[in-house]
Amino acid sequence: MKWIYNILRISGLKNQELLEEYFDHYTSEYEYLLEQGDSEELAHSKVVDAISKLDVKTINFEYFKLKHKNKLIMSSTFTFLFAAVIFVFGNFDEPPSIAPVEMSGHSITSGYGERMHPTEKVKKLHRGIDIRGKLGTTVMATSSGIVKDAGYDKLNGYFVEIQHDAIYTTRYHHLSKIDVQKDDQVKKGEKIGEIGSSGLSTAPHLHYEVLEKGKNVDPALFLKV
Amino acid sequence: MNKNKEFLSGTLNTIILALLKEHGKMYGYEICSSAKEKTNNAIILTEGAIYPALHKLEKKGIIESSKQLINGRTRKYYEIRKAHLDTVDEKVQTLYDFTTLIQALLKPSL
Ligand SMILES: [Zn+2]
């Protein structure tokens, strides 16, 4: 039941011990549901739903207070509040922070925003940026995470989608080759595939998207070349 | 179910301790499901509240934990420390008496 572990991990639970305990909890629940006659799919969706309702931020905060209780009593309230603020706002673990390909020699041929679609000839929102590159150029994960989806569809060709934390997801389209599978853990900078022209594409390029809480944002904001 | 939430927050520790007292060693999921069973699903101790509460009780030294490998995963069991069994009895009794008093208070208005 690695998927349960993975979902919990990306939910943002900070404490390893708690993570193990919740893993046992939800695996027990999953096993119980199967015993009760639920199909694997139904049990899966019930467990995913239950985990999504878990108030991870509050749990992390409770845990933080617990861990630092002795220190807190001695130090001033002000220091505590300061630490708490850093903790809460430091919750954005790993936003994408590198370019998905070595940028030297590669150029962004199409930016984020509205544009004429090159093959469909209509005005459309371009949800990502296009980076031109040679067929076979290495495409890297722009932050650590878990492969949420990887496969092929007519429009996007061979694609990979990575969930980095509770907030950020990235997508990589039109690949010629995929090196990862759904549920794989990937590290920042790890190779996930190669540039190609699969799907609705006219020349080898990487279409790269960044999503913040499920909404597309301009990936150029996250490129550090 | 949800409407019981506000009453539960102050009594969660005592409920957990009462269940541990009755069953001896328990793991988190077991505590949740036994509360559900006992109250016919009317009282749901959410997993979001129960694990932090268990960890707090452990840190206070009232309960202790041990780990066991089950089906390839780690399971953490909790039990009341012997030295605290009497205080737990007292706590449970106090809550029990309190609920009886509340019942007496509320009855005429029902
Ligand atoms: Zn594109």
Q: What is the pLDDT of residues A22-74, one digit of tens each?
A: 999 999 999 999 999 999 999 998 998 898 888 888 888 888 787 776 555 55
- Note the pLDDT tens digit of each residue in A105-158: 677 888 888 776 666 667 778 899 999 999 999 999 999 888 999 999 999 999
CA–centroid distance for B86 within its chain? 16
- Burial string for B1-14 (b: 16+ CB within 10 Å, else e) reads eeeeeeeeeeebbb
- Note the pLDDT tens digit of each residue in A63-117: 878 777 655 555 556 555 655 555 554 444 568 888 898 877 677 888 888 776 6
The answer to whether the CB atoms of B51 and A25 lie below 8 A apart is yes
Mean pLDDT for the stretch of residues A178-205: 92
H and E: helices and strands count for chain A: 6, 12
Tell me the angle at which helices A40-52 and A16-35 cross, rounded to the nearest 10 degrees.
Answer: 140
Q: Which domains does chain A have, with CATH numbers?
A: 2-85 (no CATH), 107-222 (2.70.70.10)
Cα pseudo-dihedral B84, B85, B91, B95, rounded to 10? 150
User: What pLDDT score was predicted for residue A92?
Assistant: 42
Per-residue DSSP letter, A176:
E
Mean pLDDT of chain A: 84
Mean pLDDT of chain B: 86
Which segments within A1-56 are labelled E, that is strand? none
The strand pair at A185-186 and A215-217 is best described as unpaired
| Residue of higher predicted confidence among A206 and A15 | A206
Chain B closest-CA separation from residue A59 CA (Å): 7
User: What pLDDT score was predicted for residue A61?
Assistant: 82
The answer to whether the CB atoms of B75 and A24 lie below 8 A apart is yes
Q: Is the pLDDT of residue A170 over 90?
A: yes
CA angle (A74, A75, A81) in 5-degree steps: 135
ipTM: 0.86
Q: Which domain holds residue B13?
A: 5-109
- Give the domain CATH number at B12: 1.10.10.10
Across the interface, which of A18, A25, A66 has its CB nearest the CB of B59?
A: A66
- Note the pLDDT tens digit of each residue in B12-50: 889 999 999 999 999 999 999 998 888 877 777 889 989
Chain A closest-CA separation from residue B48 CA (Å): 6
Q: Note the pTM of the prediction, 2 decimals.
A: 0.55
User: What pLDDT score was predicted for residue A180?
Assistant: 95
* Cβ-based interface (< 8 Å): residues of A facing B: 17-18, 20-25, 27-29, 32, 50, 53-55, 58-59, 62-63, 66, 69
pLDDT band with cut points at 50, 70 and 90 for residue A225: very low
Give whole-number Cα distances, A39 to A1, A2, A32, A44, A45, in Å: 15, 18, 11, 8, 10
- The sign of the torsion formed by the CA atoms of A74, A77, A81, A84 equals positive
> For B33, which residue in chain A has the nearest alpha carbon?
A29
User: What pLDDT score was predicted for residue B35?
Assistant: 87
| Residue of higher predicted confidence among A65 and B94 | B94
CA of A128 to the centre of ligand 1 (A): 6
Q: Is the pLDDT of residue B7 over 80?
A: no
Mean pLDDT for the stretch of residues A170-191: 92
The strand pair at B26-27 and B63-70 is best described as unpaired
User: What pLDDT score was predicted for residue A77?
Assistant: 61
User: What pLDDT score was predicted for residue A85?
Assistant: 57
Per-residue DSSP letter, A196:
B
> For B49, which residue in chain A has the nearest alpha carbon?
A59
Across the interface, which of B29, B52, B76 has its CB nearest the CB of A29?
A: B29
Number of domains into which chain B is organized? 1
Grouping H, G, I as helix, E, B as strand and the rest as coil, residue A215 is strand
User: What pLDDT score was predicted for residue A90?
Assistant: 43
Do residues B21 and B80 lie in contact, with contact meaning Cβ atoms separated by under 8 Å? yes
- What phi and psi values does residue A79 have, to the nearest 5 degrees? -60, -40
